[in-house]
Structure 1
Amino acid sequence: MSRGLLEAGRAGAGVSRRGFLKLGMSLGAAAGGGLLLGFSLPAAGDDARRSVIGGDAAEPAAPGVFAPNAFVQIDRAGKVTLVMPKVEMGQGVYTALPMLIAEELEVPLSSVTLDHAPPNEKLFLDPLLGGQLTGGSTSVRYAWEPMRRAGATARTLLVTAAAKQWNVDPATCRAANGEVQHPPSGRRASYGQLADAAAKLPVPKDVALKQPADFKLIGTPAKRLDSPEKVDGTAQFGLDVRLPGMLYAVIVNSPVFGGTVASVDDTAARKIPGVRQVVRVDNAVAVVGDHTWAAKRGASALVVKWNEGAGAKVSTKDLFADLAQAAANGKGAVARKEGDVGKAFANAKTRVDAVYEQPLLAHATMEPVNCTVHVRGDGCEIWVGTQVPTRARDTAQQLTGLPPDKIVVHNHLLGGGFGRRLETDMVGQAVKVGKQVNAPVKVIWTREEDVQHDMYRPCYYDKISAGLDANGKPVAWQHRIVGSSIMARFAPPAFKDGVDPDAVEVAAELPYDLPNQLVDYVRQEPRHVPTAFWRGVGPTRGTFVVESFIDELAAQTKTDPVQYRRALLDKTPRARNVLDVATKAAGWGAPLPKGQGRGVSVMHAFGSFFSIVIDVAVDGGEVQVKRAVCAVDCGMFVNPNTIEAQVQGGIIFGITGALYGEITIEDGRVVQTNFTDYRMMRINEVPPIEVHLVKSGEAPGGIGEPGTAATAAALSNAIFAATGTRLRKLPVGNQLKTA
């Protein structure tokens, strides 16, 4: 990261759009020549915000005010650098966002290089999320127009600069392949040759963006820019950080949530060669050594006594008892109310009721939690892979008392995020250790610590009822959602009137035509257990409940599940279209062998429409997923390769969670420890997955999470089709062996 860009990040607060663009360009020239172009992101509209957080965490910008969000820099050598406001965690943004720039700037995709953006919410705000963070399947949605506009603005300035030098009409010039050409005279100049001159020009108020028919890159399969480094091992994840004089710390956390250190016998640990220090923090002990192995051996040799506190009495059974009691007795906060539900139930011919339960889930990222820090009296540096660099900075500031400009966050590639790295507990713990170590120190959690001290996807309890008319159509719909509010902790302004918008997402915005609805939410926190976002967030939970229950209604009325859904989707043609594409491709209606079943689900979330059909075989209570066929309408495509990969990965993630995912607690302790008992789907178990992209021409939607969110319901519905057993509790686990 260049110093000029870092200083720009500190200087850019509160300026106007046009003033910021001028500031960015002048800073670019001062930092060594060339063109440095900032661009703004308009605040998201209400619909866009609701699709992510359901509230107004990011208010629309006032007239004439904007939130600068990223930079494009072209130096005198013609090098194009994008200061990336998002972080790469496997979802492909390090290719998709450069494609948007390269398309309008008329440069080869391979010529765009990336720098991580420094923490600065005023410059790098994602208005869809209300902060500088990566999550919610928003990256392409938030960058779609501004990134292209940045590229087009830079291109326009470069063409204008060339035309002035040649004393020709800019309309007779063209940009192509990183240079400006003047076909009538044959003259040409590279972007690097024109960068200084372009930086001195006034920024145009508006520029023309390409029409989709003129796209050369957008919509075409592109090789990922980050693949070569990941293949040859040079890619830098948090765990790869190496610094001169760096020490290594392995953490031993309290086995009980909320426990604290009572006493430590470190006699044996200090005798291990390479162990330097034993450090105590509030709820943990860290062994610091010359290398990881010494620190790990030292950690194993510690004898720690804990003040376990009230958390030692908690079990999974208690958590679900609390949820059931809250569902029965709690006062719900209304998330959606349409029509007269009470009257509709009274007039209904049939009533159907169900209760669904979903467990705590761990993130189990392939790269365990880690953070490297160097805390000094006059500054603090942090090396970490984080989805939210501003919170990493703020956490360090709170613990060190240093001003923000004395804290530097070096962001790195993430070996899996899934919401875990939206949290900064690992940063806080590393800073606490680093304050006691006179050297850079890398703090590492073992896999066991990672599984047993995660911040978990909440357990949830849903009571849902429908009243059906004589034709089996739902005329009354009531859904009570009970569980933790992540938003109340993570983004308090979004938690309004007692409703967590993430908890009720999908449930409160169904694609189906239901005339009388009451959806409410009861907040019930799991005793002492920390909770956080998990891939697919609210739609993962909500879609399992809604799409399983819709299937129950179809079975109750002896109607084909696809036709039952189609009849309720007249007002949502995009949802009906993906349902049609997926079911046709899957051969819906074709007979299956005995013991096999086919299930379906459809959803609208993250700005995309998604439907999936799953085939399963059930034998002796064991479930084998035979095939998955899906259709996705995510609006305009950027990189079809990325879309397909994200959908496939999301489906695998969803199947894994539905079949095996469960964190259980006994005596305040997490039972699971590693992949031996927190099961992952194995490569030989992954079914063939077909992804069908549905073109709609709409604005881009999110793609990182729909595959995860829609999968559990289709899987459960397929199991019902195969066995006649309806599963209302996840994971599937051993339920079919005792059903």
Structure 2
Amino acid sequence: MQPQSKRRRRFIFGGVAAAGALVVGWGAMPPRQRLHASHPMPVVGNAVELNGWVAVAPDGMVNVVMARSEMGQGVHTALPMLVAEEMDVPLSAVRLVQAPADKIYGNIAMLKDGLPFHPDDNGDLKAVVSWTVGKVARELGLIITGGSSSVKDAWQPMREAGATARAMLVAAAAAQWKVRAEDCRTEDGFVIHADGRRLAYGALAVAAATSKPGEIRLKSPRDFKLIGRPQPRRDTPSKVNGTAVYGLDVRPQGMVYAAVRMSPVIGGRVASVDADAVLKMPGVLRVVDFSSALPARTGAGAGVAVVAKSWWQARQAALALPVQWNEGDGARLSSAAIYAEFAARLDAESGHAYHTSGDMDAVEGKAIGVAKTVTAEYRAPYLAHAAMEPVNCTAQVKDGFVFLWAPTQSPGFAVEAAAKAAGVPADKVVLEVTMLGGGFGRRLDVDMVSQVVAVARQTGGLPVQMIWSREDDTTHDVYRPAAVARFNASLDAAGNVLGYDNKSASGSVSHQFFKRNLGLPPGGPDKTTVEGEFDMQYEFPNQRIRHLIVDSAVPLGYWRSVGHSHNAFFKESFIDELAHAGGRDSVAFRRSLLKRHPRHLAVLDAAVARAGAAPAGRAHGVALHQSFGTIVAQVAEVSVEGTEIRVHRVVCAVDCGIAVNPNIIAQQVESAVVFGLSAALYGAVTIKDGKVEQTSFNDYPVLRLNQAPEVETIIMPSAEHPEGMGEPATPPIAPAVANAVFKLTGKRLRTLPLTI
């Protein structure tokens, strides 16, 4: 029988997944605070804890808890800015400490953003469900970096932590001086009285810990000194001088290495292995079958590891290891069969309606002046993550403990996976989260943790660093789902869209992910399958957007921008088709559909204005898309030479609410454009006889330096709550390029990657 806590967790999350809301006895109570942790925070330099996020050391350095993983997106700079702003300390005075396993650091925004509500829906149901899911998320306390949610989630609690700490320090100084707190101000780590007296934060920390502050007030945006101003990234120097520690840099004493052989067929099992054949090879220590440590449909799958004194020795022995595989039903799996199933299901079933408006029955009955019908089918393939740092993890199982060094986006899941694989309680797992050499969603999964801990259990207490080769990484990923989308639109004689119908099919990332990591049974709608389609802001009077979840054996995972990554291509390409069919300019057509969406219209206008006119021999393609709360318009400047599509320039306007650090936003846009363009022009994972056919960058290429376009970023001024920025610039690039290609060639490209 399951422990009560696990049964309760399954019930809570299963209810949310199935119904979108949960009403229980505590539903009328306010959400619990996120200021004070259940356990002391880790501190450096005799720092004194003032709340669960902030501690102040005698030298004035401010310890700030870092609850999100740094994988190139800049959270080690953006998040401490929130605390430093409210505390009035220089950013250079902030020292980061890793978050302990406490629920106040859980990611609430990411789970709330997963609710399948239309952005224009402001009804009571949305408010109640969002509030309730926020409470559930607070109770779960899942520490996760993903969904472009780091700044969005931290905006309130980390600013409150800084403001509270500042008020405590002011109260301590006022008490020491016997003056009113209202007569004191703060600046650069000092409390300063109106008469000029000043005390450093470090000298006040002990007294502040027991002080009673007055009202806690967050700064108004007009008073910000750090937020909104470009700040240099704090992690750049260590990356330049080589002192930054990634997963591959970990070197605990006595460490040995593990290389893997995993079933080449999806879902295959180990039939037999001749370990004796390699045990006499140089440096080889042992061979371990880790298959039983992994849940179903992980990227890793079944297989064995060779442990040796160096990774090269381990890798050569793993390649030489005689392994017989039981391929099972997976050997019949193919991309062609998967697409055929999508088509058959789309032909036969209506799917789940995520959004409807108006009267589509009347449109389909041609009762309201339909003059023309436009239909199209679009396809997108499976995609691998292809992070520069391949999958790796280091573990030591010794004296009843598991010591884990992991470049992970999901510390909580990593701890749970390690505990299960080692057969110890979770509080016996000591985790150090390293920097990530790219995540893109791949490191939300923890199959590599289960794998290495299962191996480390059999090495007599020696730490083991497991490294996948690039070929292992590409052929054993959790892939972005393949998808098919069908569109049917009705136009009147003037080219106005009367009815808009969109039905798509794909697998469900969320169903697989939560089964792997929380043991939840799959079921219910999954927003990620249809996000970017059902939640668009185009003001068609009659709409119907539906989706069919088609399960398959292919392991699926979150990929940068998730469903938006392909749904934006489908939707924005078809919008261009409708403009062309109605004899309208594509930008003017979009503008006519945004009369009630001034922010979207402003973003579109800004990008188009900056782009100007296309040079001779080139064309501009436009796309407008909102994801993770951020509105993005892109204009891609494209040329076509023979069969080569070349993107020279991309203008990207973004409205992400308050821009915490404009430097990082521009970097994220550039990164997202290059990432999305790699997929748009080259990305495709195909399956034949149950095997992934691509192996490395030779047949799964990414954009090269000489192919990268110039990227110009326009950040729209805003006083709104910050929204996501890590992913939103990825979805629009594929349709922007495809729309430009149509202008140049007259060919409508409806399948990714784009080929002429």
The question of a shared fold, defined as TM-score above 0.5 by the shorter chain, is answered with: yes
Q: Structure 1 residue 271: deviation in Å? A: 2.7
Between 1:259-268 and 1:555-564, the stretch displaced more is 259-268
**Residues 42, 98 of structure 2: 8 Å contact kept:** no
1:442-483 deviations in whole A, cap 9, x for unaligned? Answer: 111101000000010000011111111222121111111200
Output the amino acid matched with 2:380: Q
Q: Is the 8 A contact 2:260 2:306 kept in 1?
A: yes
Q: 2 CA distance for matches of 1:320 and 1:455? A: 18
Secondary structure of the residue aligned to 2:108 is coil
Aligned match for 1:175, one of 186, 208, 212: 186
For 2:392, the aligned partner's letter is N
Aligned match of 2:543: 517
Where does residue 470 of structure 1 map in the other structure?
493
- Identity, in percent, stands at 45
- The DSSP-based 3-state class of the residue aligned with 2:663 is helix
What's the CA shift string for 1:323-349, capped at 9, x where partnerless? 111111134111111121121232322
**Alpha-carbon distance in 1 for matches of 2:567, 2:592:** 21
Which of 398, 412, 416 is matched with 1:376 structurally? 398
- CA distance in structure 1 between the aligned counterparts of 2:538 and 2:392, rounded to whole angstroms: 44
Structure 2 match to 1:37: 50
- Partner residue, 2:124: none
Query: Is 1:160 the counterpart of 2:171 in the alignment?
Result: yes
| 1:97-112 matches, cutoff 5 A | 97-112=79-94
Q: Structure 1 residues 341 and 721 mapped into 2: Cα distance closer, same or farther (>3 Å)?
A: same
1:91 to 66, 70, 73: 73
1:292 paired residue number: 311
Provide the residue aligned with 1:198 in structure 2. 208
Work out the CA distance in 2 between the residues paired with 1:434 and 1:223: 40
Among 400, 410, 416, which residue is 1:388 paired with?
Answer: 410
* 2:246 maps to 1:237: yes
Change (3 A) 1:145 1:397: same
Q: Residue in 2 aligned with 1:51? A: none
Match of 1:220 in 2: 229
Question: Could you tell me how far 1:567 is from its partner in structure 2?
Answer: 0.2
Q: Distance in 2 between matches of 1:189 and 1:233?
A: 38
| Structure 1 partner of 2:345 | 326
CA distance in 1, matches of 2:687, 2:709: 31
- 1:14-36: per-residue Cα shift (whole Å, max 9, x none)? 99999986777x95799986532
CA separation in 2, counterparts of 1:483 and 1:315?
15
Q: Distance in 1 between matches of 2:217 and 2:608?
A: 40
1:568 and 2:593 aligned:
yes
User: Residues of 1 paired with 2:738 and 2:439: CA distance?
Assistant: 26
Query: Cα offset for 1:508?
Result: 1.1
Structure 2 residue 694 is the aligned partner of structure 1 residue 672: yes
TM-score, reference length from structure 2: 0.87
Question: Are residue 554 (structure 1) and residue 563 (structure 2) matched?
Answer: no
Label 1:21 to 1:656 Cα distance change in 2 as closer, same or farther (>3 A). Answer: closer
Query: In 1, Cα distance between the equivalents of 2:372 and 2:521?
Result: 35
Q: What are the superposed Cα offsets for residues 334-368 of structure 1, whole Å, 9 maximum, x if unpaired?
A: 11111211212323221111111000000001110
Report the more deviating stretch, 345-354 or 418-427: 345-354
Is 2:514 aligned against 1:479? no
Q: 1:62 aligns to what?
A: none
Per-residue deviation, 1:696: 2.2
Q: Which residue identity lines up with residue 643 of structure 2 in the other structure?
A: G
For 1:644-655, what aligned pairs fall within 5 Å after superposition?
Answer: 644-655=666-677
1:10 alignment counterpart = none
Q: Deviations over 1:199-245 (max 9, x none)?
A: 011354x4122221211111111000111111111111111111011
Specify the SS of the correspondent of 2:53.
Answer: strand
- C-alpha distance in 1 between matches for 2:439 and 2:413: 15
Structure 1 unaligned spans of 5+: 1-13, 39-69
**Alpha-carbon deviations, 1:129-172, whole Å to 9, x = none?**
24310111111111112211211111111011011101112222
| Number of residue pairs aligned between Structure 1 and Structure 2 | 683
Match for 2:163: what amino acid?
A
Amino acid at match of 1:189: L
Contact 2:658 2:719 in 1 (8 A): yes
- 1: CA distance, partners of 2:247 / 2:42: 32
Deviation at 1:497, TM superposition (A): 7.5
Given that 1:286 and 1:433 are in contact with CA atoms closer than 8 Å, whether structure 2 keeps it comes out as: yes
The residue aligned with 1:279 is 288
Closer/same/farther in 2, CA of residues 78 and 85 from structure 1, 3 Å limit: same
Quote the Cα distance in structure 2 between the aligned partners of 1:591 and 1:400: 60
Deviation at 1:121, TM superposition (A): 3.5
Go from structure 1 to structure 2 and tell me whether the alpha carbon gap of 1:718 and 1:549 turns closer, same or farther (over 3 Å shift): same
For residue 253 of structure 1, the aligned residue among 259, 262, 269 is: 262
Offset of 1:291 from its aligned partner? 1.3
1:262 aligns with 2:271: yes
Verify the 8 A CA contact 1:119 1:409 in the aligned structure 2: no
> 2 CA distance for matches of 1:304 and 1:551?
52
Question: Which secondary structure does the structure 1 equivalent of 2:495 belong to?
Answer: coil
Question: Which amino acid in the other structure matches residue 143 of structure 1?
Answer: A
Once structures 1 and 2 are overlaid, which stretch shifts more, 373-382 or 672-681? Answer: 373-382
Cα distance change, pair 127–77 in 1 and its aligned pair in 2 (3 A):
same
| Residue of structure 2 equivalent to 1:453 | 476
- 2:669 partner amino acid: V
Please report how far the alpha carbon of residue 557 of structure 1 lies from its aligned counterpart in structure 2 after TM superposition.
Answer: 1.3
- 1:125, CA displacement in angstroms? 3.9
Deviations 1:546-581 (A, max 9, x none): 100000001111211000000001111111111000
Quick check: 2:512–2:522 contact (8 Å CA) kept in 1?
A: no
Aligned mates of 1:618, 1:122 — CA distance in 2: 52
Aligned to 2:567: 542
The alpha carbon displacement at 1:124 in A equals 3.0
CA distance in 2, matches of 1:411, 1:341: 51
Distance across 2 between alignment mates of 1:338 and 1:726: 28
Output the aligned Cα RMSD: 2.2
The match for 1:501 is 527
CA distance in 1, matches of 2:237, 2:474: 30
Preserved CA contact (<8 Å) 2:260 2:318: yes
TM-score normalised by the chain length of structure 1: 0.89
Q: Residue 148 of structure 1 aligns to which amino acid in structure 2?
A: R
Asked if 1:134 is matched to 2:160, the reply is: no
1:597 CA drift (Å): 2.1
Given that 1:22 and 1:203 are in contact with CA atoms closer than 8 Å, whether structure 2 keeps it comes out as no
CA-to-partner distance for each residue in 1:288-320, whole Å, 9 max, x for gaps? 011111111111221211111111111111111
1:358 and 2:359 aligned = no
CA distance in 2 between counterparts of 1:452 and 1:20 reads: 41
Residues in 2 aligned to 1:155 and 1:18: alpha-carbon distance in whole angstroms = 22
Tell me, in whole angstroms, the C-alpha distance in 1 between the residues paired with 2:42 and 2:509.
Answer: 44
Residues 576 and 654 of structure 1, relative CA distance in 2, 3 Å threshold:
same
AA in 1 matched with 2:93: S
Q: Is this contact kept in 1: 2:694–2:700, CA < 8 A?
A: yes
What is the deviation of 1:321?
Answer: 0.8
Aligned amino acid, residue 415 of structure 2: R
Aligned equivalent of 1:421:
443
Does structure 1 residue 207 correspond to structure 2 residue 216? yes
User: Is the 2:37–2:102 Cα contact (8 Å) retained in structure 1?
Assistant: no
- Whole-Å Cα distance in 1 between the matches of residues 74 and 213 of structure 2? 31
Distance 2:412 2:624 in 1: 36
How many angstroms does 1:126 deviate by? 2.8
Given that 1:29 and 1:35 are in contact with CA atoms closer than 8 Å, whether structure 2 keeps it comes out as no
CA contact (8 A) 2:35 2:160 kept: no
Tell me the equivalent position of 2:161: 150
Change (3 A) 1:699 1:22: closer
